Amino acid sequence: MKRIAALLGTLLLISMITFLAFSVLPGDASVSKLGTNASPERVEKLRNEMGLNDPLPVRYINWLKNAVWLDFGRSFQYTDVTVRELIGRRFGVTLLLTGCSFLMIVLVSYPLGVFCGRRKKKHTASYWGTAAVNFITQITMSVPPFFLGILITYFFGITLGWFQPGGFIPPSDDLAACLWYLLFPAAAIALPKSAMIIRFLSEAVREEAAKDYVRTAYSKGCPENRVFYRHILKNAMIPTITFSALILIEVIAGSLVIEQVFSVPGIGRLLVTAISNRDFPVVQGVTLLLTGFVVIANTAVDLLYHKIDPRTRVNLKRPGAGGRKGESV
C-alpha cells in the first residue's frame, strides 16, 4: 500500500516536471494552429478560447485531467492527428521489438552466465570456452549499440542479403516477415545487454560458490551437480532476476536509438523526430509514457524481489548479519 502511494506520488511529480519544462518554452498550440503570420489579436483570441492564458496551476490541472486518459492534445506537426493516435500506432512496434530483444537476452545470457560461472579445470575445452565468452562480452560492451546495428546492417543486410535495410514491414501486413526484420535490431540491442547479464550471473555464481553453506553441502556428501543447481544457482538467480528486470528498462532505452538505425517506426523514432521538429505535445506524451513505464517497472522490480527472496519476508535477523553497536544495518 505504501509502495502504491509512493508510485502515485512519483508519477504526479513526473507529470508536473514534464508539464512545467515544456510550458516555459516559446511556441504553443495557438501559433501552430494559426501559423506564424497570424495577427496578434487573433492569436490572443484563440489563446483565450484554448485556455492558454489561464494561470499555470489551472492549465496544469486541465492538462493532467486529459493526460490521465492518455490524451495529450494534438501534434503541432501533424495537426489533424491526436498525440494518442500517433503514439498508439507506434507503440505496438516498439513493444514487439523490446519483447523480441528481451527474450533473446534471456535465452542467450542465462545459459552462458551459468556456464561461465562454474568452476573449471585449467586447459580443458570449457576453460577456453569461458575465456572466449569473456573476451567477446568485453568487446560487445565496448561497441556503441548503434554501431553494432550498423555492422549488423552491413553484414547481414547488404553483404548476405538476409533482410532489406530500411524495408520494415508493418506487423498488420505480414507478422512473420515483420518479426524476421525485427530480429536484427533486436539482436543489436540484445548483445551488449546479454554481455552485462553474463558478467553479472557468472560473478554471482562465483560469489555464492565461495560461501560456507556450499562447503557444508559438499561435506554432507551432496553431489557436485546437486550443489550447483539446487544450492548455488538458486541463490545466484535472486539478484540476477532483479538485474534482468532493470535491464528491461535499458532495453527500452536502447530501442530509442536502434529504431533510428534500422528505420523501425516505433516510439523512439517518434520521439527523436518530435524533438527535432519541436513538436512538444508529442514529446510530452512520449516522455510521460516512458518515464511512467520506468517508474512502474521499478516498483514491480521491488515487489518481485520480495516475492522471490524468501529471506526478505521473514522479520528475523539473519545470524551474523547484525552490525556493530550503534550502526544501523
Partner 1 sequence: MSRKIWFCLLIVLFVTSIVGLVWTPYPPEEMNLSLKNAAPCLSHPFGNDYFGRDILSRVMAGLSTSIQISAAVVAIGAVFGSIIGAVTGYLGGWLDEVFMRINDSILVFPSILLALIFVAVFGTGKFNIIIVLGVLFIPSFARVMRSDFVKQRSLDYVRNAKIMGAGTMSVLFRHMLPNMKSTLIPCLVIGFNNAMLAEAGMSFLGLGVQPPEASLGRMISESSGYLVLTPWAAVIPGLVMAFLIYAVSMVGKKNI
Is there binding between residue 291 and partner 1 (CB under 8 A)?
yes
29 binds partner 1 (CB under 8 A): no
Binding footprint of partner 1, residue count (CB under 8 A):
42
| Stretch touching partner 1 by CB under 8 A, among 81-89, 110-118, 143-151, 210-218 | 143-151
Binding of residue 328 to partner 1 (CB under 8 A): no
**Residue 295 within binding range of partner 1, rule CB under 8 A:** yes
Residue 77 interacting with partner 1 (CB under 8 A): no
Alpha carbon distance 186, 184 (integer Å)? 5
Near partner 1 in 80-139, by CB under 8 A? 138-139
Binding mask 194-233 vs partner 1 (x if CB under 8 A, - otherwise)? ----------------------------------------
Q: Which of residues 244-283 bind partner 1 (CB under 8 A)?
A: 249-250, 252-254, 256-257, 260-261, 271-272, 274-276, 280, 283
Binding of partner 1 at residue 10 (CB under 8 A)? yes
Q: Which is nearer to partner 1, 217 or 270 (CB)?
A: 270
Q: Taking a C-beta distance cutoff of 8 angstroms, is the pair 206, 192 a contact?
A: no
Q: Are 237 and 248 in contact (CB under 8 A)?
A: no
Tell which one of 68, 81, 131, 158 touches partner 1 (CB under 8 A). Answer: 158
- Interface segment toward partner 1; rule CB under 8 A; list 100-108, 145-153, 199-207, 231-239: 145-153
Least distance from partner 1 to the Cβ atom of residue 275, Å: 4
191: CB partners within 8 A, 6+ apart: 140, 148
Binding flag, residue 298, partner 1 (CB under 8 A): yes
CB of 55 to partner 1, least distance (A): 21
Q: Which residues bind partner 1 (CB under 8 A)?
A: 10, 18, 21-22, 25, 138-139, 141-147, 150-151, 153-154, 158, 165, 249-250, 252-254, 256-257, 260-261, 271-272, 274-276, 280, 283, 287, 290-291, 294-295, 298
